[in-house]
Chain A
Amino acid sequence: MSITDLTSRAEAQVAERKEINERLQKLQEEVSDFCYQCAKCTSGCEAHKLLELEPHKIVALLKRGLIDEMINSDMIWTCMSCFKCKERCPQKVAPVNILFTLKNLAVASGKQVPGDFTAMLQSAMGIGLIQDIQTVPTRAGETKTREQAGLPPCSKPKDPAKFQQTIMTVAMEKV
């Protein structure tokens, strides 16, 4: 099995899905009891103005169990994880956490992950960091390396093979 491309797995991860589903179920019970659809979360949502994300509707859909509709929608990927919705909800509901869990479920169900997430994940699994050390531009139009900036070597996993083992067992875990 190719270990580096978690995001394009052909087969859905059955056990992983089960665990995430349990998490969602717990969230569902919580929101059903507490969310009264005041939409305060949506009124401050950073993604609402520009991308029409409506966290209160995410909560309402979860209440009704319309999970497949959500994991098949690009909407869940527009959250900026600013945590305003969680901070300001009068009922201590956290739409942002529901969104994280829905995205996890989408990935575990073999859905296409949008944008550069795949590149970040591959880099993290390979070298431990979401990107490798860059040469950066200066304002004067030149470039500088980390070393030229006077910095010591960058800290990375000492034994990449063992490190990969650690995170692969998490990513592929059968519960």
Chain B
Amino acid sequence: MSVQTKKQTTDNPKIIGRLLLVVVAMFGFGFALVPLYDVFCDVTGLNGKTGDKVNFETAPTVDESRLVKITFLASLNESMPWEFKPQQNFIEVHPGKPTTINYIAKNISSKSIVGNAVPSVSPGLAAAYFQKTECFCFTQQELKAGEEKIMPVTFIVDSELSDEINEIALSYTFFISKQNNEDLADNNLTAKSINTFK
């Protein structure tokens, strides 16, 4: 018996305490993965996530020798009762040159709806070189019943963009914003309702 006591290096409460610390730390780590993931995507430009608004102090130099084709895509999250499309399907631009194009959105429901556009660029590695100076995706957009709105985007393709990339696709998906009031949710507009007709 006593032999065992002497052998004992750390007592149980200490071990439990230390292990519980690890448990708490790993629980926190799970949550830390969320911002870490965003930082990682920002830094590497992976995942096609575009950055926030870019402001240029001086106008960037334009690379006249090169043309990059930008394709515009628009989609709606499943239950969003809007129409949404780009005014033109693509444009060819010189890197460094600010360009503005328009998307058009129309609310075809009988309620005022706040929407949220989430941009994505592919190939993912081009995302870091696709800089938006103006975009309807920076803020929430509200459309009254039946209202139509022109939504401009101004962007510059960084001249540092790798030579291997000559085409970039910019896509926006409009989601119903969580800021909409509850009766919208009851009005078969949120995705939850999809479940109920099972």
Is chain B a partner of chain A in the same complex? no
Interface residues of B (CB under 8 A from A): none
